[in-house]
Structure 1
Amino acid sequence: MELSVMFFGAQGAGAGGAAAVYEQVIECARAADGLGFRAVWTPERHFQDFGQVFPAPAVLGAALARETRRLHIRAGSAVLPLKHPLRTVEEWSVLDNLSRGRVGLSVATGWHSTDFVLAPGSFADRRAEAFRQIGLIRRLWAGQEAEFPDGLGSPVQVRPRPAPYRAELPLWLTSSGNPATWQTAGELRTGVLAAAPGQTRQELAEKIALYREAYAAAPEQLGAPARGTVTLMVHAYVGDDMAEVRAKARQPLKDYFKTYLRQAAASKVGTGDGAAPELSDAQQETMAEFAFERYLAWGSLLGTPERCLAAMADLRALGCDELACLVDFGLEHDEVLKSLQRLAEVRARLEDEEGTR
């Protein structure tokens, strides 16, 4: 079981502005690098308070690459329909060279309509466009030429530069829970990056089985490994006792969930105005409280070391290969660093126990 650290932008810039947030991200990455975590994930978000400091994962990744030695630098996620595929390959190839082959991308199709002011013509067919780009990006990453129209409208063959440091680009497909996305990831032979909240243990087990079956049946893909990776995003905070965990995590997680609800209500998707229904303050409070209790009950690393050890073992048994620990949901920075240390200790205990069986 691999552990990685993940940022998802629950906090705004706050005191000290974006610069202070970036310093905290870098400090967490340094700590994770020293503690044996596998990767650091940063999201791509645009024009919202939620995640406002994360519009450019490749740019932030360049800073993280120079501050770490072993930690893989990943986008969680890169919204492919918002950018020309050549730009995606160029930017991440630069970062691959800076990091000596430590990059990876989880592909997102995009969901918030406002994001697509960057590429308004791509919104309607964003899923098909994202899936189409996966094969193209693999070919470009491998050094193959591809044909595109130039400024005069004439077709030209181009090959992006520089060549990446590593010949294969690790890819994931981000899933919000739809089983069809898990199956598509298997058919495309990418990994899956999924969130634990919003599904039961049984539902997750069924999706992992669906993914494994589709992956095994799919033809070989350029640069894809023989076995796919299931990475599960989990909220993470390890405390000495459950009273401490509840006291420190409850309000930040509830505030995060309310922010997410407001962002979802602002996205116009589907028929009519398409926006998600706006909820009253009382309705938001009820849903946030329910979400917090559900996070504690299953699908998180919120709890004591013993509780988190059991959760890690359970998720490994279900078929998860990696847990991406969501840490920036509002805790004090010192608490996050302490929790990273405890998470590393819990993982070491899990490996010891597995090794003695």
Structure 2
Amino acid sequence: MEFSLFYFSGDGSKVQTDSYQLMIESAKFADQHGFSALWMPERHFHPFGGLYPNPSVTGAAMAMITKHLQLRAGSVVMPLHHPARVAEEWAVVDNLSQGRVAIAFASGWTIDDFVLSTESYSDRKVGMWRGIEMVQKLWRGDSVEMKAASGKDVQIATFPRPLQPQLTPWIVCQSPSTYIEAGKRGGNVLTSLLSGTLDEVAQQIALYRQARQEHGHDPQQGKVAMMLHTFVGEDFDTVKAQVREPFCNYLKTHLNLLEHLARGLNLKIDLKSLSPADIDSLLIFAYEGWLKGRTLIGSPATCLPMIERLRQAGVDEVACLIDFNPNFEQVMAALPHLNALKAQCQPLTMAALS
């Protein structure tokens, strides 16, 4: 099992001189301790702002302070962007990082984000696949026909040339059809447990690997990364108490996550009808639910069974979302315990390194 760090939260609504301190310092830690990658999201206009509107910008910054980590967009919302622009920006990051770029693509999920795009929200899946194909062609150095302001079709190639000759896409997958299409196209998968149980996701991973095989791709070469909220400490009960408040505050700004969890538990909840006190009670309930097989919150010993379940489900990498907790000192203090968990999951690798 590989381990990477995933960033998603962060309050960009306040002017602060240390907004990116956690990303910078945790990236340095991950780079020095054998983590596989950093995942940098694209988020716009959400409650409490967001620190990550453009993953190519944060990717360029991370290229300057790391040497080993793969730098991944997690993800580029493809229908919001012109493919040529995506190819240009990430080719720069690929050069800055000496060829360490990877891109996960998503179709978009928040309708307000589409103020940035001329793509139809209802056709965003089609726009995503079309955009991925064009980015891949430009990445290879091919010219692509595009319409100029004059109305004429012109052939466009993008620069700079990236160091990597091919771009294997990662695809954000939540539905069986997307898993299957990702397999057909020979891509990798970034997924989560936000819309299903691990057993359900395991079935979709099997569909993905079957689709790879049926379309001439090695079924085991495709990688599946699972995003999980992560905070690892010495003792489960201590961690549970320490993380409860920041995790509930995080959920309060992402109430759609509560709806996903409720659906997974076969509960029908109308959040708009609930009082603030009801919401707080639901948050505590949701936190307890998330601790039962949906996170890496606990000690290395209590998290190991979850790692084994992920492995059996066909997951290759845990993408550890660490910034739901805004306390810099607490998160950084937890990283050595996460690294200890990683070491227990990679005994042969760690022995070779020592």
Q: Normalising by the residue count of structure 2, what TM-score does the alignment of the two structures yield? A: 0.89
Q: Kindly indicate whether residue 27 of structure 2 is the aligned counterpart of residue 29 of structure 1.
A: yes
| Contact 1:248-1:331 within 8 A present in 2 as well | no
RMSD of the TM alignment (CA)?
2.4
Q: Secondary structure at the match of 2:20?
A: helix
Q: Which one of the candidate residues 190, 195, 205 is aligned to 1:193?
A: 190
Q: Secondary structure at the match of 2:253?
A: helix
**Structure 1 equivalent of residue 263 of structure 2:** none
**Structure 2 equivalent of residue 5 of structure 1:** 5
Structure 2 stretches lacking a partner, 5+ long: 260-269
| Contact 2:299-2:337 within 8 A present in 1 as well | no
**Structure 2 equivalent of residue 253 of structure 1:** 247
Give runs of aligned pairs for residues 74-113 of structure 1, distance below 5 A. 74-113=72-111
Q: Distance in 2 between matches of 1:289 and 1:263?
A: 13
| Contact 2:111-2:121 within 8 A present in 1 as well | yes
Q: Which one of the candidate residues 287, 290, 297 is aligned to 2:292?
A: 297
Q: Kindly indicate whether residue 205 of structure 2 is the aligned counterpart of residue 208 of structure 1.
A: yes
Q: Distance in 1 between matches of 2:327 and 2:344?
A: 26
AA of the residue aligned to 2:305? A
Q: Distance in 2 between matches of 1:61 and 1:207?
A: 30
| Contact 1:82-1:122 within 8 A present in 2 as well | no
Over 3 Å counting, the alpha-carbon distance change for 1:150 and 1:238 in structure 2 is same
Deviation (angstroms), 1:263:
9.7
Q: Distance in 1 between matches of 2:349 and 2:271?
A: 46
AA of the residue aligned to 1:246? K
| Contact 2:194-2:257 within 8 A present in 1 as well | no
| Contact 1:39-1:73 within 8 A present in 2 as well | yes
Q: Distance in 2 between matches of 1:170 and 1:188?
A: 9
Q: Distance in 2 between matches of 1:213 and 1:351?
A: 27
Q: Which moved more, 1:276-285 or 1:125-134?
A: 276-285
Give runs of aligned pairs for residues 268-347 of structure 1, distance below 5 A. 278-280=272-274, 281-347=276-342
Structure 1 stretches lacking a partner, 5+ long: 266-275
Deviation (angstroms), 1:196:
2.4
**Structure 2 equivalent of residue 146 of structure 1:** 144
**Structure 2 equivalent of residue 234 of structure 1:** 228
Q: Distance in 2 between matches of 1:132 and 1:278?
A: 37
Deviation (angstroms), 1:73:
0.9
Q: Distance in 1 between matches of 2:298 and 2:129?
A: 38
| Contact 2:13-2:50 within 8 A present in 1 as well | no
| Contact 1:249-1:331 within 8 A present in 2 as well | no
Deviation string, structure 1 residues 259-286 (Cα, Å, up to 9, x no partner) = 1127999xxxxxxxxxx96352244334
Q: Secondary structure at the match of 1:278?
A: helix
**Structure 1 equivalent of residue 64 of structure 2:** 66
Among the aligned pairs, what percent are the same residue? 38
AA of the residue aligned to 1:71? L
Q: Distance in 1 between matches of 2:20 and 2:346?
A: 32
Deviation (angstroms), 1:210:
1.0
Q: Secondary structure at the match of 2:319?
A: strand
Q: Which one of the candidate residues 160, 176, 180 is aligned to 1:179?
A: 176
Q: Distance in 2 between matches of 1:298 and 1:231?
A: 16
Q: Which moved more, 1:88-97 or 1:234-243?
A: 234-243
| Contact 2:251-2:257 within 8 A present in 1 as well | no
Over 3 Å counting, the alpha-carbon distance change for 1:225 and 1:84 in structure 2 is farther
Deviation (angstroms), 1:350:
2.0
AA of the residue aligned to 2:177? A
Q: Distance in 2 between matches of 1:43 and 1:355?
A: 29
Q: Distance in 1 between matches of 2:216 and 2:132?
A: 15
AA of the residue aligned to 2:3? L
Q: Distance in 1 between matches of 2:155 and 2:247?
A: 49
Deviation (angstroms), 1:225:
9.5
Q: Distance in 1 between matches of 2:121 and 2:200?
A: 29
Over 3 Å counting, the alpha-carbon distance change for 1:61 and 1:247 in structure 2 is same
Over 3 Å counting, the alpha-carbon distance change for 1:104 and 1:81 in structure 2 is same
AA of the residue aligned to 1:26? I
Q: Distance in 1 between matches of 2:7 and 2:163?
A: 25
Over 3 Å counting, the alpha-carbon distance change for 1:63 and 1:355 in structure 2 is closer
Q: Secondary structure at the match of 1:192?
A: strand
Q: Distance in 2 between matches of 1:47 and 1:130?
A: 21
Q: Distance in 1 between matches of 2:277 and 2:190?
A: 32
AA of the residue aligned to 2:285? F
| Contact 2:3-2:320 within 8 A present in 1 as well | yes
Q: Secondary structure at the match of 2:4?
A: strand
| Contact 1:146-1:157 within 8 A present in 2 as well | yes
AA of the residue aligned to 1:202? D
Q: Normalising by the residue count of structure 1, what TM-score does the alignment of the two structures yield? A: 0.88
Deviation string, structure 1 residues 19-57 (Cα, Å, up to 9, x no partner) = 412122111111110111111111101122355211011
**Structure 2 equivalent of residue 272 of structure 1:** none
Q: Secondary structure at the match of 1:236?
A: strand
Deviation string, structure 1 residues 162-211 (Cα, Å, up to 9, x no partner) = 11011122321112x32222122112221111112442232122111111
Deviation string, structure 1 residues 83-127 (Cα, Å, up to 9, x no partner) = 100000000000000001111111110111111111144323111
